[in-house]
Amino acid sequence: MRTLALRIWMVCWLILVWVLLWGTVSAANILSGLVVALVVTLLLPLPPVPVEGRLHPIPLLRLVLTVIYYLLASSVQVAALALKPGPPPLTAVLRAHLAVKSDLVLVLAVNIINLTPGTIVLEIDQPRRMIYVHVLDVGSERTVQRFYRQVAGLQKLLVASFERDADWRPAAEKEATS
């Protein structure tokens, strides 16, 4: 039942994206969006992504608010760097470890970091859970430490929202007990 609901949700989402891309809500766009969505979901299915753990709403709300704060603060910092006269800021590629269990949560963390102005994930070492991030403005030890504090805070919020040890049962263990 859950798989069917997810497929229906995906088809509706793809129809919406299709209509938005065309810019006009019409019967033809909705129908063609339905055809494209069905082709994509039936002929080009993505592999299933195991979802483990439980969702915790209060830490998730804190995660959302923290990410909004990071986005706003870093946008102001990047704007200030762009307007500041003088040489361009010093940049570097920094390595950070994300102690998350799920590949899905790892992808979510990488997407949040990529959305944050001034940072872009260049490489993910999935088995070791290491990410390599190009960071704008690492001219001082304070700015480097701020990046590492942000990553640590993000990791803590992601674990609290999705991967608490008490709720965690890997997919292989779930299949064995079923």
Q: Are strands 92-97 and 119-125 parallel, antiparallel or unpaired?
A: unpaired
pLDDT, tens digit (0-9, with 9 covering 90-100), for 129-158:
999 999 998 989 999 999 999 999 999 999
pLDDT band at 168 (very low <50, low <70, confident <90, very high): low
Q: 131 - beta bridge partners? A: 96, 124
Distance CA 89, CA 56 (A): 39
User: pLDDT tier at 48 (50, 70, 90 boundaries)?
Assistant: confident
93 beta partners: 134
pLDDT in tens, 90-104: 999 999 999 998 888
Residue with tokens 């993505």, as numbered in its chain: 46
Determine the pLDDT at residue 171. 57
Q: What is the chain's Cα-based Rg?
A: 20
